[in-house]
Structure formats: structure tokens, C-alpha cells
């Protein structure tokens, strides 16, 4: 859990009378910058999940092997997605 979520849950427990005091902690993953696949690869992965037959799946896998699909996109946002 993130430390923000832990703090919110702790405050909620105090507000509802479930606890008198709470120690909250969490983990921050900002040192691990999220790397995303390009939109084309994400679309292919979703289509692969929906594919019904082996030929459909093999066709999508063949399309995935393009190098452009493995070029990572680094998120510039400070929030993890």
C-alpha cells in the first residue's frame, strides 16, 4: 500500500471509532520509474486476450514481434499508473 492510502485508512479508523490511535506506514515506489509499452503494443495485448482461436492469437503474436512495439514509453507523471 502507498503511504497516502495507509494514512487515509488510519484516519478513517480513528474517525469511525474503531481505533484510538494508529501507526500508519507504506512503501513509496517513485525510485522505480514506471515504463509503459507503446499504445500499439497495449492494443495488441488487449486483442490477444480477446482472441478466440489459435490462428487469431498467432497472427497477433506475429504483429507484436515488431521492434516498434518494444520501445518503452517513460511516464513523465509523478504518479504511478
Residue 35 has pLDDT above 70, yes or no: no
Full-model pTM: 0.47
Between 3 and 68, residue with greater pLDDT = 68
Please name which of 5, 3, 23 lies closest in space to residue 14, comparing C-alpha atoms. Answer: 23
What pLDDT does 34 receive? 66
Q: Given this model, what pLDDT does residue 47 score?
A: 93
Mean pLDDT (the chain, rounded)? 82
Reading phi first (left if > 0) and then psi (alpha if -120 to 50, else beta), residue 17 is in left
Amino acid at each position: 500500500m502507498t503511504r497516502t492510502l495507509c494514512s487515509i485508512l488510519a484516519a478513517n479508523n480513528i474517525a469511525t471509532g474503531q481505533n484510538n490511535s494508529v501507526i500508519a506506514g507504506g512503501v513509496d515506489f517513485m525510485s522505480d520509474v514506471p515504463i509503459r509499452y507503446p499504445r500499439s503494443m497495449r492494443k495488441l495485448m488487449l486483442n490477444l486476450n480477446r482472441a478466440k482461436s489459435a490462428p487469431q492469437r498467432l497472427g497477433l503474436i506475429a504483429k507484436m514481434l515488431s521492434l516498434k512495439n518494444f520501445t518503452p514509453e517513460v511516464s513523465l507523471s509523478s504518479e504511478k499508473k
